[in-house]
Amino acid sequence: MWPRWPGSPSSSPQTARSRRDPGTATAPASVERPFRCAPPRSRPPATARWPTAALSACPAAVSRETTAEHQCVSPEQPHPGRRTSVTERQQLPADAATGARTAPVTVGEQPAAARSLGLSGALNARDLGGYRTADGRTLRHGTALRSDALHRLSAQDLDTLRTLGLRQIVDLRGLAEVRENGPDRIPGLPVAEIDAAEHSATPMTVTPDTPDGVTLHHLPVHSDAFDIHVALREALAGRDSTSQRALLGNGGGEAIMTGLYRWFVTDAGARDRFARVLRLLARPGGTPLLFHCTAGKDRTGWTAALLLTALGVDRDTVFDDYLLTNERHAALVDRLMDGFGTRGIMAEPELILPVYRAEPAYLAAAFAEVESGWPSLDAFLTDGLGLDDSVRRGLRANLLAD
């Protein structure tokens, strides 16, 4: 989640097929509540003045010095500090439940590696197909896809995307992230129109020339109030261990992340963006659809959690899918952490690890915020996100198989 960048209105003119999306819905005022931070014991110290409402962790975006590290890394080995998920623990010998894996991670009755889309420039791109619902149905393969950003795709990756038959791509990145990393690479859409749409602080859509082409929806999820992305990047670029510890030490990194996930739920604008992704998935002929942010971890993770929950997938499986990001990005994060230390960027590289990782506590914070504000998850989907029965029926029709 990247907050507002100064001068955030788009500097690129709109083209004939890049248009501002007029359909922004507003969540009911009756459910709007102020943002709540993490519990006091988890908050950063008083010297860290940055609130915990607006950050999406991306290993590739916090420092220009580390950009080259985000290149085609094989995620074969987990970080030594990685926590095992519920399903992963079930795959391990009893005496190794807290140690290294000795068997492949299995989520949704198939190896985690099988979910990968095989994109060298988007390591966290994967298929949500195969998960089972409480009523015994199965999420169709190749219909709902989640990913990290698509700006580093190779020519071979673009060929792979073409074979997927995508109808829609949703980019949840904010303007600052697009400026930092670049717009998506999408086969069949003009580069100039993608650039114009994604360099906008407001929702925009790019439509294809042909009926079977890909439609791009830029639905930025960010905070207008804070610029923590810039604060974190500057803390790294300045190589000042004092400011880094003030921002991230004493539980500061964890507080940023749990606060972010609560903000996903409490902020009406954020709720609207997530709801719109689900509506796009429910459209007749709207799939296959791929949604992504920068790392494919936070905004993408919450979108996937909402989708799977709305379809009736059990909570343990929802968490296991969320935690697969740690498998996909493990080698990349290891390289970044090593680079921060050897290059003198951080005296304590471990301080930033909570920002880079998917942790159960982060997703749990979002669900806890739902439970504290709505009588049930169904009530949140209906009243908090504004999803009526027709949307729920559309999701089941498009995504589930008997």
- List pLDDT tens digits, range 80-94: 333 333 333 333 333
What percent of the chain clears pLDDT 70, i.e. is strictly above it? 70
For the chain, how far is it from start to end, CA to CA, in angstroms? 36
Q: What is the number of alpha carbons within 13 Å of residue 90 lying toward its C-beta?
A: 9
CB neighbours (10 Å) of residue 348? 14
The three-state secondary structure class of 217 is strand
For residue 230, CA distances in Å to 64, 240, 262, 340 come to 12, 15, 21, 17
Confidence of residue 49 (pLDDT cuts 50, 70, 90): very low
pLDDT at site 222: 86
24 vs 343: CA distance, rounded Å = 45
Over residues 305-345, the pLDDT tens digits come to 999 999 999 999 999 999 999 999 999 999 999 999 999 99
pLDDT at site 86: 34
The three-state secondary structure class of 121 is coil
CB-based burial label for 307 (10 Å; 0-12, 13-18, 19+): buried
Over residues 244-285, the pLDDT tens digits come to 999 999 999 999 999 999 999 999 999 999 999 999 999 999
For residue 176, pLDDT over 80 is answered with yes
Region label for 215, one of left (φ > 0), alpha (ψ between -120 and 50) or beta (otherwise): beta
Please state the length of the chain.
Answer: 402
292 vs 125: CA distance, rounded Å = 8
Q: For the chain, what are the domain ranges?
A: 42-65+104-401
**Selection from 282, 287, 295 nearest residue 322 by Cα:** 295
Confidence of residue 123 (pLDDT cuts 50, 70, 90): very high
CATH (residue range 42-65+104-401): 3.90.190.10
Strand pairing class (289-292; 144-147)? parallel
Q: Assign 3-state DSSP to the chain and report helix, strand, coil percentages, each to 5.
A: 45, 10, 45
